[in-house]
Structure 1
Amino acid sequence: MKFLKITKRIINTCANSRQNVLTVLSDEPTPSLEEWESAIPYENVPGPTPIPLLGNTWRFIPFIGDFQTEHIDKVSKKLHEKYGKIVKMEGLLGRPDMLFLFDPDEIEKVFRQEDSLPFRPSMPSLNYYKHVYRKEFFGDNNCGVIAVHGEKWQDFRSRVNQIMLQPRVTKMYVKSITATSQELVDRIEAIKNEDDEVPEDFLNEVHKWSLESIAKIALDVRLGCLDRDAHPDTQRLIDAVHTFFMLVPVLELKIPFWRLWSTPTFKTYLRALDTIREITLKHIDIALHKLDKQDNQELSVLQRVLKMDNNVKTASNLALDMFLVGIDTTSNAVASILYQLSLHQEKQANLYDEVKKLLPDSDTELTHEKLDRMQYLKACVKETMRMYPVVIGNGRCTTSDRVIGGYQIPKGIQVIFQHCVISNLEDYFPRCNEFLPERWLKTSDLCKSHHPFASLPFGFGKRMCLGRRFADLEIQTVLAKIISNYKIEYHYEKLDYYIHPMYTPNGPLKLKFIKR
């Protein structure tokens, strides 16, 4: 009886959660009466059948459920194979229904028709942290861009867009990011064994590089993450970010007991976010004291926001969001690309030829003009992100009734675009199982055959990834530096991919870095 009462309370919470979505102001176009009435009713959308009380949430319960959060990629693939291009997952305790969309034509329609205040699928746990648990810190109007919606999101994003998304601003950081990338090259040389192989925890070294890069871009602060005597806060921050991402699917997809009482998992989650906030704020304070000592070319993102907006809260919370979501994503992308290049020696050789022409000597300066000319390098990045996107999907929450895929989709449904499935389908990418960077080159016939909305690792539209230009800069720069210095090999059993917490190779990355 006690379990039934708890379950009913959670169901009521779910209803309230959906009602919050429904109250979002919307100017999203609604279908005509004729279009709506000719569409198939929502209840007929195919998908797994929920059971009484537990709905479909039971599927994510360990041992008894048939869905595992670390293998959502495989779960999504099975849903597509069994139910088709549109799949309904209803009865998820504590959150609205999810609608998995595997059709790039329909995904494009959703993006093209989104309103001025697009609503991303919510993260109730992070929303709670920002708007309830630490409301006194974040306030009402400067909560950043993560887990924020409506006019507050639009106001914040409009103030930082021109700094974060303009190519001319990004190019000013090439010199700083090149220096940080060289630190990773030096670190690789220091940690290799006599067989030129890096340790099993090499991914953690890439995390350190990513953290160092973000600190330089966001705050113009050198943390010394890759130094032998790095400050303990470096690892604490990396571990906290990792914990945050690991626990999000646990809190969001499994039975949300945390909404009724503070569970051990939820306490760990809150502590991780507090650690991220506290360590980041230390370095923000240092950066603020440097405000009047820098010229225009060397200003950090924090300082540029302050010069433009003169609001410390805006600048600080933007920097905090950059640390929160920019470390694991970028580092796992780099690790995955290095691993794929190690498996495809011919493609790596092609990349080295391109890099060598533009960086003939170890002391040749890497500039943004040279990066712009490295088309094959960019193709290698795109191809890895097609096959193994570090974030396997994104989505939108409908803010009005819509017709999607010929079905009536009501307001308040979370529409999920699982690009990890779509971008690995032969329908949209011929020879999809092959690692073919050439498909992204304009001179290739394959370039003309893929759907532009079948692979969107950074999203699309008004809520596309705010840090994508900086992420591109970091990834391209470090790859150019590594490839110019090393040939990369891998001599162990091929690794599968899993979500831990990003989509990443499952196993130690014991890569071999042979000095060129």
Structure 2
Amino acid sequence: MRGTAVMWPLRTVNRSICTTASRQQVSEGSKEMGAKNSMLSTCPVHIQRARSTHVVDATAFEVSSPVKPWEDVPGPKPLPLLGNTWRFTPYIGSYSVEHIDRICVSLRAKYGKCVKMAGLLGRPDMLFVFDANEVERVFRGEDAAPHRPSMPSLNYYKHTLRKDFFSAEENCAGVIAVHGDSWSAFRTKVSRVALSAGAAAQYTAPVAEVADCFVERIRKIRDENMETPEDFLNEIHKWSLESLGLIALDTRLGCFEACEGSESQRLIDAVKTFFLCVGELELRAPWWRLYPTAMFRRYVAALDTILSVTLRHVDKALEEIKLNGSSKSLLQDLVTAAGARVAAVAALDMFLVGIDTTSTAVASILYQLSSRPHVQEKIYEEVTKALQGRPMSPGDLNQMPYLKATVKEVLRMYPVVIGNGRQLTKDTVICGYNIPKGTQVIFQHYVMGNSEEYFKDASQFRPERWLKRTAQRHHAFASLPFGYGKRMCLGRRFAELEIHTVICKMIQAYKIEYRREPLEYHIHPMYTPNGPIRLRLVER
């Protein structure tokens, strides 16, 4: 039986904010996998795939094979009372949260393309899907308000612990850990602004300025060997927060000058704490539901910090609107179109899913480029030709297809989030099995993205496979770093702008090398190189 977590008052967030007159995308390998993939079995149901993610007639994917019951889905057997949760328990089980990637590879090799993980204490049963055809069929057949697997801890924060704030206005709880009509109504309000033509393009110049500041910051903090410091990832977090603050809060936060105790560093620390805690709270036994554990208290304090900072900047945006009488930014457009509270919650959700993901992607891309000088040179030539020595302006990134293809290739082999998910709202046939309503389905893009079945020479780094002129074909649903459909990342355009711009600027300025021991990847909580990323940056 679910217990009731202790509630305590919101100190820094419990305040009223003004509202004004009422007015899609923050969710887009290794050599060993080639040998592992040869052992993989075939899905019981084979259907023809489409080559793009554009909408097609769902009836083309109807399943005619005999349907087997849920009980027949293969997977690790749960123990009485303990279920499968014990497998994630330190010193007892062999499943590590940090190595979910390896676990998924072994599950695919042992059980096939559809694997059941039942008996997880405090969580619905899970189904891992490794078949891109089935991913496509499920995505194309979902309803207008699909459910993503909820983070129970964030759901509790929004809908119970801080209910007074998130429920003060109708349909104002955001898009993260929210479902149904409330999610749909909020997304509609935000998407009108965030997905409008030119919404991201208007930030090209200021995002490029932040990237220039990052390049200069790294130049100053390199050591005598021209290597980045051990906390280089924290510096990338600062860049990501500065860029997102510019977009979501309409301000330069001064992250590159952030010191211990400053608002910027507190915000960085709060976002890091949120992500470090959420994996443990979601995958291990949910003791926080019975009493507020130390980790849950840290988690709540981090969320309170993020929310209080966003509220302060929303108030500032309101003052700007009063003084200037017109909107000039995403934040002010949101305030004008949907009200201050919607703008604050949208900013909160952007911080929760937009900082760690983007910075981890950039760290991974730079690390992968460091061992591929020929790829760097191709990007450098492309960037030089496109910019011709002038500042970046809207449209310039469209002249850099190889840079974009390189980013896609890194995210194929090393996706920041290794799987997309849905929580079924109705009984659904997947891989020939009847999967019951309420099951959490995880589409394992890390495994599919590194599979020879979907990508020729999958273990080889080939950005060319993403260029239109190439003859190589791949399954459109095997690699989806920003998700798909109505639950696709709402801030995709902004994230891509930030990533492409900073990689462009880094390649313009430096030849990137890595001369230390190779780093393995792990979940922490994004899929990231495990260890200090000590890049050697040589001036061009």
Residue matched to 2:534: 510
Residue matched to 2:295: 265
Residue matched to 1:58: 86
Q: 1:370 aligns with which of 373, 384, 396?
A: 396
2:421 counterpart of 1:395: yes
Residue matched to 1:22: none
The one-letter code matched in structure 2 to 1:136 is D
Shift of 1:316: 1.1
Residue matched to 1:24: none
Distance, in Å, in 2 between the alignment partners of 1:12 and 1:415 is: 27
Distance, in Å, in 2 between the alignment partners of 1:486 and 1:105 is: 41
The one-letter code matched in structure 1 to 2:362 is V
What secondary structure sits across from 2:517 in the alignment? coil
**Deviation digits for residues 170-198 of structure 1 (CA, Å, limit 9, x no counterpart):** 11110110111111011011111222111
Residue matched to 1:190: 220
**Deviation digits for residues 90-130 of structure 1 (CA, Å, limit 9, x no counterpart):** 01111110000000000000000000110111111000000
Distance, in Å, in 1 between the alignment partners of 2:261 and 2:320 is: 21
2:140 counterpart of 1:112: yes
Residue matched to 2:336: 307
Distance, in Å, in 2 between the alignment partners of 1:238 and 1:247 is: 14
**Deviation digits for residues 63-86 of structure 1 (CA, Å, limit 9, x no counterpart):** 101111111111111111110100
Q: 2:186 aligns with which of 152, 156, 167?
A: 156
2:427 counterpart of 1:405: no
Q: Is the 8 A contact 1:215 1:223 kept in 2?
A: yes
Residue matched to 2:367: 339
Q: 2:442 aligns with which of 413, 416, 422?
A: 416
The one-letter code matched in structure 2 to 1:455 is S
Correspondence list, 1:76-475, <5 A: 76-139=104-167, 141-227=171-257, 232-292=262-322, 299-309=328-338, 311-361=339-389, 364-446=390-472, 449-475=473-499
**Deviation digits for residues 28-81 of structure 1 (CA, Å, limit 9, x no counterpart):** x999xx969930111000000000111001111111011111111111111111
Distance 1:372 1:35, change over 3 A: closer
Residue matched to 1:17: none
Q: Is the 8 A contact 2:275 2:525 kept in 1?
A: yes
Task: Give the fraction of aligned pairs with identical amino acids, expressed as a percent.
Answer: 56
Q: Is the 8 A contact 1:11 1:94 kept in 2?
A: no
Shift of 1:293: 5.2
Q: 2:522 aligns with which of 478, 498, 503?
A: 498
Distance, in Å, in 2 between the alignment partners of 1:80 and 1:148 is: 31
Correspondence list, 1:18-33, <5 A: none
Deviating beyond 3 angstroms after TM superposition, the runs of 4 or more aligned structure 1 residues are 9-13, 34-37, 228-231, 292-296
Distance, in Å, in 2 between the alignment partners of 1:355 and 1:407 is: 49
Aligned residues: 485
Shift of 1:135: 0.8
Q: Any gaps of 5 or more consecutive residues in structure 1?
A: 1-8, 14-28
What secondary structure sits across from 1:247 in the alignment? helix
The one-letter code matched in structure 2 to 1:418 is Q
The one-letter code matched in structure 2 to 1:303 is Q
Distance 1:254 1:451, change over 3 A: same
Distance, in Å, in 2 between the alignment partners of 1:172 and 1:72 is: 38
Distance, in Å, in 2 between the alignment partners of 1:231 and 1:340 is: 33
Distance, in Å, in 1 between the alignment partners of 2:311 and 2:172 is: 15
Q: Is the 8 A contact 2:419 2:445 kept in 1?
A: yes
Distance 1:41 1:11, change over 3 A: farther
What secondary structure sits across from 1:175 in the alignment? helix
Shift of 1:279: 2.4
Distance 1:111 1:11, change over 3 A: farther
TM-score, with structure 2 as normaliser? 0.86
Distance 1:280 1:231, change over 3 A: farther
Shift of 1:320: 1.2
The one-letter code matched in structure 1 to 2:415 is P
The one-letter code matched in structure 2 to 1:221 is T
Q: Any gaps of 5 or more consecutive residues in structure 2?
A: 6-56
Shift of 1:276: 1.5
The one-letter code matched in structure 1 to 2:144 is S
Distance, in Å, in 2 between the alignment partners of 1:355 and 1:30 is: 41
TM-score, with structure 1 as normaliser? 0.90
Q: Is the 8 A contact 1:393 1:420 kept in 2?
A: yes
